[in-house]
Amino acid sequence: MKRALISVSDKTGIVDFTRELISLGYEIISTGGTKRALLDAGLPVMGIEEVTEFPEMLDGRVKTLHPMIHGGLLFRRDLPEHGKQIEAHGIQPIDLVCVNLYPFQETIAKTGVTLDEAIENIDIGGPSMLRSAAKNYAAVTVLVDAADYGAVLTELREAGDTKRETREKLAAKVFRHTAAYDALIASYLTELSGEAFPEKLTLTYNLQSEMRYGENPHQQAAFYAEPLADAASLAKAKQLHGKALSYNNIRDADAALKIVAEFKQPAAVAVKHMNPCGIGTGNSIEEAFQKAFEADETSIFGGIIALNREVNREAALKMSEIFLEIVIAPSFSKEALEILTKKKNIRLLELEISSGARYHDVTSVRGGLLVQDCDTFLEDSESYEVMTDRAPTDEELEALLFQWKIVKHVKSNAIVVGNAKMTLGIGAGQMNRIGAAEIAFRQAGEKTAGAVLASDAFFPMDDTVEAAAKAGIRAIIQPGGSIKDQASIDMANKYGLAMIKTNVRHFKH
């Protein structure tokens, strides 16, 4: 008689699966809560202690770690010497293993979880059985996911055994599963121990969705989510309308969310190709959107919009007048949904808007990863220094602080021009700073006069300051720190500009 070992934390479908195995001639071995569930269903089950002839001990920490179990799992059927050894020790082969693990992820996701609770939900016996069975997949069928029960039962009914190809795929799935499980434990304990960059970096993600293609149609792509993604992550967004998000949609949406989370007052952010093209704030969300629209009426077409307030009827009416790819907001009123869902191609995402917890930015390079803290540096505007003879007015300072929030999210070299309520011109991703400034001035046009300017890094020479003055800029915010700072200060003083330095750089590559 064939044997199956069944011990699951997630009992979805396990009774029906086990009943089918029994009907196919399998003897069932089980443990703990799984054994009780199967017995309660009236199924014949052998306890693990009947196989090991050793009782569970240490509050269940030790029950399956025994030669009678692992010998039955690892025994190679093609080696006569293995057969002699298990016969000599009275070990019976185990042909099928169905195991899933203690809910470590669910445990640490709970508010107020203690270290003791987390430790007790680190499974030892489960991964050991899975790994033993998966290593011997030439003879053993191993399952870790209820989604595979049906396909395995079909093969057992049709041929009396599973195909080698099936066992191989299931074994690979097991090793992915245990690797992810261990990675989550490693991450939890590493964070607890305060190690920022350990000697080994173990990351795990779950497939959220496959995509039609990546940045371009000839590139394959998929979206993977962190197992414990926070509520402000796109992985947690609820899509209310529209077709599935593309690779580029997700990248742009993520950029928009990071910017809009900077604001407490009603704010709207428009993003194209990972760069903001218009940001506005106001006393209402419709006013904020209107300002974001006016900031760049051309680039917003086909853009991604993120808002930090509920989308109401008035805002929806304004948005419905142009083509937008995505609108993201914490909620949509009933009237807003009725208006926006009339547009077939718009995607509507409901998502918590917040800066969220600190995290690491991970960027792939050929052969490796670059890992850094995210740029959520908490700046103190009280520490900013006035560099010029003239200090900014209160109104100019308000505008400078607004634009400083924006420039950190613009690809370097970055120059942002605006006022206290909106951006007016954005120069992004240029190879030199004067080029970025000229783009921003050209976009702002006549509105440059009386506006302020933010630069993500210092001025290596005074040409940008002079160009700003001639364009009508009245105040500048920049990190400072160039060996030629004095030349820029002198140029600002020449034209009566106010300039402050933050001593913080915001490069974004």
Which DSSP string do the residues of 179-233 spell out, in sequence order?
Answer: HHHHHHHHHHHHHHHT-SS-SS-----EEEEEES-SSSTTS-EEEEE-TT--TTS
Peptide bond before residue 312 is cis, with ω within 30 degrees of 0: no
pLDDT band at 31; cut points 50, 70, 90: confident
Residue 439 contacts residue 453 (beta carbons within 8 Å): no
Residue 64 has pLDDT above 80, yes or no: no
Q: State residue 453's pLDDT score.
A: 98
pLDDT band at 354; cut points 50, 70, 90: confident
Query: Across residues 474-493, what is the average pLDDT?
Result: 95
The total of other beta-carbon atoms located within 10 Å of residue 407's CB is 27
**E strand spans, 39-166:** 46-47, 96-99, 141-143
Name the residue type at position 389.
D
Q: State residue 293's pLDDT score.
A: 96
Strand 452-455, strand 267-272: pairing: unpaired
pLDDT band at 86; cut points 50, 70, 90: confident
Count how many residues are written for the chain.
Answer: 509
Catalytic one of 135, 169, 241, 405 = 135
In which element (H, E) is residue 368 found? Answer: strand 368-373
Give the range among 73-87, 458-472, 480-494 with minimum mean pLDDT: 73-87
**E strand spans, 260-312:** 267-272, 275-281, 303-307
Cα separation of 26 and 49, whole Å? 18
Q: Report pLDDT digits (tens) over 36-52.
A: 999 999 999 998 877 77
**HSE-CB of 100 using CA atoms within 13 angstroms:** 18
* 273 tagged catalytic: yes
Cα separation of 417 and 415, whole Å? 7
Q: Which of 267, 479, 254 is nearest to 359 (CA)?
A: 254
Residue 357 has pLDDT above 70, yes or no: no
Q: State residue 162's pLDDT score.
A: 94
* 135 tagged catalytic: yes
Q: Report pLDDT digits (tens) over 310-349.
A: 999 999 999 999 999 999 999 999 999 999 999 998 999 9
Q: Kindly state the DSSP code that residue 110 receives in the 8-state scheme.
A: S
Look up the pTM and report it. Answer: 0.85
Cα separation of 229 and 250, whole Å? 15
pLDDT band at 361; cut points 50, 70, 90: confident
pLDDT band at 195; cut points 50, 70, 90: confident
Cα separation of 386 and 392, whole Å? 8
**E strand spans, 242-285:** 267-272, 275-281
What does the block give as tokens for 214?
């990546």
Name the residue type at position 187.
S
Average pLDDT, the chain: 92
Q: State residue 228's pLDDT score.
A: 87
Q: Report pLDDT digits (tens) over 237-255.
A: 999 999 999 999 999 999 9
Q: Which residue has the higher pLDDT, 123 or 249?
A: 249
Beta bridge partners of 332: 311
Residue 272 contacts residue 248 (beta carbons within 8 Å): no
pLDDT band at 379; cut points 50, 70, 90: confident
Q: State residue 499's pLDDT score.
A: 97
Catalytic one of 2, 11, 82, 273 = 273
